[in-house]
Amino acid sequence: MLAKLSRVVPALLLGHLAAASAEAQTDYFNTDAGRPIRVEDAYAIERRAIELQLAPLRLERERGGAYRWGVEPEIALGLFARTQIEIGFPMVHAEGPRGTRTTALAGLEMSALYNLNAETRLPALALAADVVMPAGPLGPSTSIPTVKAIATKTFPWARFHVNGQMTFADDDATGGTSGIVPPANAEFSRWMAGVAVDKTLPLRAMLFTVEVVTSEPFEAGAARRLDVAGGSRIQLSPRVAFDAGGGYRLRGDEPGWFLTTGAAVAIGFPWAPRR
């Protein structure tokens, strides 16, 4: 009897884990901020899902020749229906004057997104809140909160997304614990507005997207930014999606190009009941 139980119990546990993983699938058309573009859609990941965003990378080159790259691994949790919680750990590497280089943690980021409604004749709407807390040498000197409103409307030939966000901080808050504005915080803006359009190819499980984003820097006297970008997202398996993109800063004090790439792996809560 004990021998039989020793075979049955592990089999049941493995089956339960497999079922949870099968239910949690990453969707190539569910775009997140920075993957591959900044404008995101109004939908959260599915309930009881865990999505690991593995090494999302952003590489920038300013017109003067300085490079900057950042990696922000994140974990997204579908704790409740239409609700997504994320925790991120941004790491930044920057090249400064006279060949100086810095690589360090640039804060601890926590965010939440709530999808208000599904699309009908009206677009899908969502509200998001984000806070970057002091952590690491390149992190902000105090917590920096942001709120965002998101709208998504689907047509037979494309989807459109509109994002608008406000950040509540002052110049000193973005200065970092050292008192010097670190590269990671240079992208903070008082407000940001963006529009994106994407097209899916369901038979190939691919998405192509482009965006236009404008933002107001915190630094007094800094020129307003205008960025254009595009990218693609592809489903490699039911649980793995890969994305890549790039863009150019048309206006601003630091014009230049940037590239992004990343991957997401979806798993399920092992204790989640079957649907």
Q: Give the pLDDT band of residue 179 (cuts 50, 70, 90).
A: very low
Q: Is residue 274 part of a domain?
A: no
Q: Is residue 273 part of a domain?
A: no
CA atoms within 13 A on the CB side of 87: 4
**What CATH number does residue 60 fall under?**
2.40.160.40
Q: Which of 7-16, 67-76, 179-188 has the lowest mean pLDDT?
A: 7-16
Q: Is residue 119 part of a domain?
A: yes
Count of domains forming the chain: 1
Report the 3 state secondary structure along 90-156: CEEEEECHHHCEEEEECCEEEEEEEECCCCCCCCEEEEEEEEEECCCCCCCCCCEEEEEEEEEEEEC
Q: Is residue 174 part of a domain?
A: yes
Residue 97 is predicted with a pLDDT of 61
Q: Tens of pLDDT along 118-154?
A: 999 999 999 999 999 999 888 888 899 999 999 999 9
Q: Is residue 225 part of a domain?
A: yes
Range of the domain at 202: 2-268
Q: Tens of pLDDT along 195-249?
A: 999 999 988 889 999 999 999 988 777 889 999 999 999 999 888 999 999 999 9
Alpha helices in the chain (DSSP H): 2-23
Q: Is residue 275 part of a domain?
A: no
